[in-house]
């Protein structure tokens, strides 16, 4: 972050991105609207996928494999996405990615129809969920490079920060609205597997509607004068060169960040299972005139996600201000620490709605360190290489994190000898979440010991 940017933060407030939004170029406005639509659809569905899979008969191991499969997609999609955007242009690429995501939501919607057909030890419905993910994550992951490039080519350099603030604000707002909408859709239904499947299919219908709207809006309204997306894509050779050239200051951050994200990846997909099936916590409140309103655990989980994201939105800018006084490193370490300790706090929480609300509010603080984290990544990069350094950093981290969810699923459900069937390790959800916290704390401690401060913040 430059000194000019740091000084501008002094007068910033949480509404700044919304004020800046109305002054941006049309293409960025269109992109922001599409980003909101797809982020809402993916967020309101993805956080419930473990519950949906469980209702369809999937085991904890399969749910863990689903999480790791998502990690694979997140790691490998952006590069071919850049190549596709280069070949056909950002407008048609994003339209294609949007259609793919919408079709993926549709596959998830019809998956229960195949529950009666089995493939080996699992049902065709569960297989369909995996196939659907390949498509559903297309806009989010394939379009990553395209969305960044659109902002860069649509606004002058002096307004890049405003452009990214606009799209990020819309994305995070969707993260808030999506789970709350899902909670409302789950409200009329019960907690049986059949009710969960029906309710989630309703959620998926809404996601499909938003997917169609987002695809149409971006295809019809996005009209770039000079579509340059993807022209700098240079393939694996460039990637290897960027990894070798990564600034030395980033290596302790990368090690600590990877350990923390690996730990979170072990249990992230199981958060909904802990709330809905392990603790089985719902909420009953008395509302004037209406009377008593009872939320199922599935519906209450959406409320908890909304609380988490509300705290995130409120704390990101104040945390950025504090970073200017105390440095980036302490703020990043705070986010790492929250990531690390949340799993063990959640799995050992009492089955009390207020306790869980407090825990998820605490979890929202992990996003407070996000701006400082990004600044610490791109800060040491030489002028003109920030994008490649960032891309290499995230790709390396995401590849290493791929098996995390599968490991978490094995610790949750246990491991048996595939030949004799003898139990090698008795599964234990508490053990899985405890191991995750230990790994996360190791990553946090490593960063605190060896991480370096960005010179501009010293």
Tally Cβ neighbours within 10 Å of residue 184.
15
Q: Which residues pair with 287 in a beta bridge?
A: 291
Looking at the structure, do residues 239 and 131 belong to the same domain, yes or no?
no
Looking at the structure, do residues 367 and 379 belong to the same domain, yes or no?
yes
Q: In the structure encoding, which two tokens stand for residue 112, read together?
A: 């229960």
Confidence band, pLDDT 50/70/90 cuts, at residue 369:
confident
In contact, 271 and 456? CB cutoff 8 Å: no
Looking at the structure, do residues 115 and 206 belong to the same domain, yes or no?
yes
CATH classification at residue 299? 1.20.1250.20
Cβ-proximal residues to 244 (8 Å cutoff; 6+ apart), any chain: none
Percentage of the chain lying above the pLDDT 70 cut: 75
Query: What Cα–Cα distance (Å) separates residue 34 from each residue in 215, 286, 335?
Result: 7, 38, 29
Domain that holds residue 93: 1-233
Q: What are phi and psi of 40, to 5 degrees?
A: -65, -45
Helix axes 370-378, 297-326, angle to 10 degrees: 50
- d(CA 152, CA 164) in angstroms, rounded, equals 9
Between 415 and 408, name the one with better pLDDT. Answer: 408
CA geometry: angle 415, 264, 58, nearest 5 deg:
45
Q: In the structure encoding, which two tokens stand for residue 81, read together?
A: 């996405």
pLDDT tens per residue, range 172-216: 788 889 999 999 999 999 889 999 999 999 999 999 999 999 888
Looking at the structure, do residues 220 and 272 belong to the same domain, yes or no?
no
Looking at the structure, do residues 117 and 202 belong to the same domain, yes or no?
yes
Looking at the structure, do residues 255 and 134 belong to the same domain, yes or no?
no
pLDDT tens per residue, range 73-102: 888 876 666 667 667 776 787 788 889 999
Query: What Cα–Cα distance (Å) separates residue 7 from each residue in 2, 10, 30, 113?
Result: 9, 6, 30, 57
Looking at the structure, do residues 141 and 267 belong to the same domain, yes or no?
no
Looking at the structure, do residues 188 and 281 belong to the same domain, yes or no?
no
- d(CA 412, CA 433) in angstroms, rounded, equals 8
- d(CA 452, CA 458) in angstroms, rounded, equals 10
Looking at the structure, do residues 127 and 252 belong to the same domain, yes or no?
no
Q: In the structure encoding, which two tokens stand for residue 305, read together?
A: 């996600």
- How many Cα atoms within 13 Å fall on the side-chain side of residue 196? 22
Tally Cβ neighbours within 10 Å of residue 19.
10
Q: In the structure encoding, which two tokens stand for residue 92, read together?
A: 């048609």
Instruction: Look up the pTM and report it.
Output: 0.84
In contact, 317 and 13? CB cutoff 8 Å: yes
Q: In the structure encoding, which two tokens stand for residue 90, read together?
A: 């950002």
Closest CA to 401 of 257, 241, 272: 257
| Domain final residue, candidates 204, 233, 262 | 233
pLDDT tens per residue, range 220-273: 876 655 544 444 445 556 667 767 777 777 889 999 999 999 999 999 999 999
Burial of 383 (0-12, 13-18, 19+ CB in 10 A): exposed
pLDDT tens per residue, range 4-35: 444 444 444 444 444 444 444 566 667 667 77
Check residue 7 and give its pLDDT. 42
Q: How many residues does the chain have?
A: 458
Total domains present in the chain: 2
Burial of 284 (0-12, 13-18, 19+ CB in 10 A): exposed
Looking at the structure, do residues 285 and 419 belong to the same domain, yes or no?
yes
Q: Which residues pair with 283 in a beta bridge?
A: 295
| Domain final residue, candidates 173, 201, 233 | 233
Which helix (H) or strand (E) is 345 found in, with range? helix 328-347
Task: Collapse the DSSP code of 66 into the 3-class scheme (helix H, G, I; strand E, B; otherwise coil) and give the result.
Answer: helix
In contact, 245 and 390? CB cutoff 8 Å: no
Provide the sign of the torsion angle of the four alpha carbons 44, 49, 51, 57, taken in this order: positive
Q: Helical H runs in 22-122?
A: 26-46, 49-55, 60-76, 78-88, 90-110
Looking at the structure, do residues 209 and 254 belong to the same domain, yes or no?
no
| Domain final residue, candidates 206, 233, 260 | 233
Percentage of the chain lying above the pLDDT 90 cut: 46
Cβ-proximal residues to 222 (8 Å cutoff; 6+ apart), any chain: 27, 30, 31, 34, 90, 91, 94, 150
Looking at the structure, do residues 226 and 243 belong to the same domain, yes or no?
no
Tally Cβ neighbours within 10 Å of residue 26.
12
Task: Please give the full DSSP string across 277-299, using - where no structure is assigned.
Answer: IIS---EEEEETTTEEEEE-HHH
pLDDT tens per residue, range 106-126: 999 999 999 988 887 789 999
* Terminal-residue alpha carbon distance, the chain: 12
């Amino acid at each position: 972050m430059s000194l000019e940017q740091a000084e501008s933060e002094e007068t910033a407030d949480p509404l700044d991105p919304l004020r800046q939004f109305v002054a941006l170029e049309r293409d960025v406005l269109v992109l922001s609207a599409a980003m909101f639509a797809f982020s809402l659809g993916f967020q309101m569905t993805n956080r419930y996928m473990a519950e949906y899979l469980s209702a369809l008969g999937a085991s904890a191991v399969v749910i863990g494999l689903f999480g790791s499969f998502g990690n694979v997609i997140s790691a490998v999609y952006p590069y071919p996405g850049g190549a596709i955007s280069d070949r056909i242009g950002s407008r048609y690429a994003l339209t294609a990615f949007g259609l793919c995501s919408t079709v993926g939501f549709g596959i998830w919607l019809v998956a229960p129809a195949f529950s009666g057909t089995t493939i080996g030890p699992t049902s065709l419905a569960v297989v369909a969920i995996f196939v659907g993910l390949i498509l559903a994550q297309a806009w989010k992951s394939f379009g990553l490079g395209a969305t960044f490039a659109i902002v860069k080519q649509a606004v002058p350099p002096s307004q890049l920060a405003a452009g990214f603030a606009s799209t990020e604000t819309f994305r995070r707002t969707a993260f808030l609205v999506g789970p709350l909408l899902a909670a409302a859709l789950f409200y009329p239904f019960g907690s049986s597997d059949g009710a969960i499947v029906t309710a989630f299919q309703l959620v998926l219908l809404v996601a499909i509607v938003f997917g169609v709207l987002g695809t149409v809006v971006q295809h019809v309204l996005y009209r770039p004068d000079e579509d340059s997306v993807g022209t700098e894509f240079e393939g694996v050779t460039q990637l290897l060169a960027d990894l070798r050239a990564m600034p030395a200051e980033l290596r302790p951050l990368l090690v600590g960040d990877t350990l923390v994200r690996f730990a979170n990846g072990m249990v992230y997909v199981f958060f909904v299972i802990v709330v809905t099936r392990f603790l089985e916590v719902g909420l009953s409140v008395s509302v004037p005139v209406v009377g008593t309103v009872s939320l199922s655990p599935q519906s209450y989980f959406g409320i908890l996600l909304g609380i988490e994201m509300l705290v995130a939105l409120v704390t990101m800018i104040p945390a950025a201000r504090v970073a200017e006084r105390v440095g980036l490193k302490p703020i990043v370490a705070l986010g790492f620490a929250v990531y690390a300790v949340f799993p063990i706090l959640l799995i050992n929480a009492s089955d009390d709605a207020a306790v869980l609300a407090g825990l998820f509010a605490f979890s929202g603080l992990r996003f407070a360190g996000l701006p400082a984290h990004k600044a610490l990544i791109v800060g040491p990069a030489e002028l003109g290489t920030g994008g490649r350094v960032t891309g290499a950093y995230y790709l390396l981290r995401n590849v290493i994190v791929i098996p995390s969810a599968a490991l978490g699923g094995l610790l949750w459900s246990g491991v048996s000898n595939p030949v004799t069937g003898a139990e090698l390790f008795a599964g234990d959800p508490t053990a899985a979440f405890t191991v995750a916290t230990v790994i996360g704390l190791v990553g946090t401690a490593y960063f605190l010991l060896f991480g370096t401060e960005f010179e501009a913040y010293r």
